[in-house]
Amino acid sequence: MGPLHTVNKSPAAGNALASCLAHLTAGAAILLIEDGVYAALAGAATAPLVAAAAESHPVYVLEPDLVARGLGESRLLHTITRVDYGGFVDLAAAHSNIVAWF
DSSP 3-state of 5:
strand
Q: Give the CATH number of the domain where residue 41 resides.
A: 3.40.1260.10
Q: Domain count of the chain?
A: 1
For the chain, give the longest Cα–Cα distance. 33
The model's pTM? 0.95
pLDDT, one tens digit per residue, over 10-62 is 999 999 999 999 999 999 999 999 999 999 999 899 999 999 999 999 999 99
Residue closest to 24 by CA, chosen among 52, 61, 63, 64: 52
Range of the domain at 95: 4-101
